[in-house]
Amino acid sequence: MFRDFLQDSFFYTKRYYGYIFGLIVISALIVFLSFVILLILGILLAMFMGVDVSTVSLLKEEDIFPFLSNKLIFFIILMVILSLVWIFLVVTFIQYPLIKTFIEISRDKEVVKRPFSIYFEKMKEKNILMALKMFGLGLLLMLIVAPVLIVGIVCVARAPDIIDVLARFVVFAIGIAGFVLAIYLLLRLMFANSALIDKNLGILESIRESLKLTKGKMGFVIATALYSIIASMIFQIPLYIVGILDKTGSFHESFLFIILSLAAAILYFIAFPYFVIIQYLPYNMLNDVINKESNVESQEDNSNDFVVG
């Protein structure tokens, strides 16, 4: 199954390489323009309220209370609310269509999809409810995984400070178990968002769907997750090298440093469509396996009914 994953990942990347680039560029431009509009709205709101926008820069200072006024505080509150609403709209009109398109183009090898048509059709849906469910699912997943991970981190961090050897071992073991359980939960629930978007499920139904997809398939899930991480790290090696050179500070004005920076960024950007495919392809492959197993079971049930009849 993992071999099929590798073959299909290159197949879909080759077929939709340019389309994925185009979708990413279009989405990035729309996001950029949306936040430019948000900035303009903020400036107009400040002018309407009579707030001196230059005083906002004073928020970085430690002693800002003498500069705060009721108008400025109210302006900040309104901008926070407006920013949250704006982010919600970005998820509704940009992120949801983009993810839905990536899911669609990484399934059905026999069918050639039209990515731009899918993207703009989903954008026209104005699916506010879907965005709400995406936010709700993200919050629920955080509430499930975060406590376990925090317990693991705290136990591992505090274990060396415990004097009693047995207690130290127990606390450290609990911390390691917390890490392992958190990773396990992440792997079991990693397809919940894709299932929610693809099948328009509820929040709890999408979690159950992810558990169903990964049941008995953890070897494949772990293999694809590790492959994605390793592939991403390999293409980020030039970025790490540039980061190390940047910390030294001795190559900033060097032409070689500029060339290396551009080459590292371009190399990762070139590989980005492949990372998109390997992110959503496992979900579609697991769906195909589940559907085939369901069809086999239904055929067996029908044959048994026929024999009994």
Residue 160 sits in which domain range? 132-201
Q: Tokens 């970025």, residue? A: 239
Q: What is the pTM of this model?
A: 0.82
- Residue 308: pLDDT band (50, 70, 90) is low
Residues 238-251 have pLDDT tens digits of 777 777 766 766 66
Q: Is the pLDDT of residue 300 over 80?
A: no
CA distance 132 to 114: 27
CA distance 177 to 185: 12
Highest mean pLDDT among 3-17, 34-48, 83-97: 3-17
- Residue 295 maps to a domain: no
CA distance 232 to 225: 11
Tell me what pLDDT residue 230 has.
92
Looking at residue 200, what DSSP letter applies?
A: T
The number of CA neighbours under 13 Å toward the Cβ of 183 is 12
CA distance 261 to 123: 35
- Residue 146 maps to a domain: yes
Q: Are 159 and 196 in contact (CB under 8 A)?
A: no
CA distance 194 to 134: 10
- Residue 306 maps to a domain: no
Residue of 215, 192, 212 lying closest to 202 (CA atoms): 192
- Residue 296 maps to a domain: no
- Residue 180 maps to a domain: yes
- Residue 160: pLDDT band (50, 70, 90) is confident
- Residue 280 maps to a domain: no
Looking at the structure of the chain, the number of domains it has is 1
Q: Tokens 């699912």, residue? A: 137
Mean pLDDT of all residues in 225-246: 83
- Residue 282 maps to a domain: no
Tell me the residue type at 272: F
Q: Is the pLDDT of residue 63 over 70?
A: no
Tell me what pLDDT residue 62 has.
46
- Residue 5 maps to a domain: no
Q: Are 19 and 115 in contact (CB under 8 A)?
A: yes
Alpha helices in 159-217 (DSSP H): 165-189, 192-199, 203-214
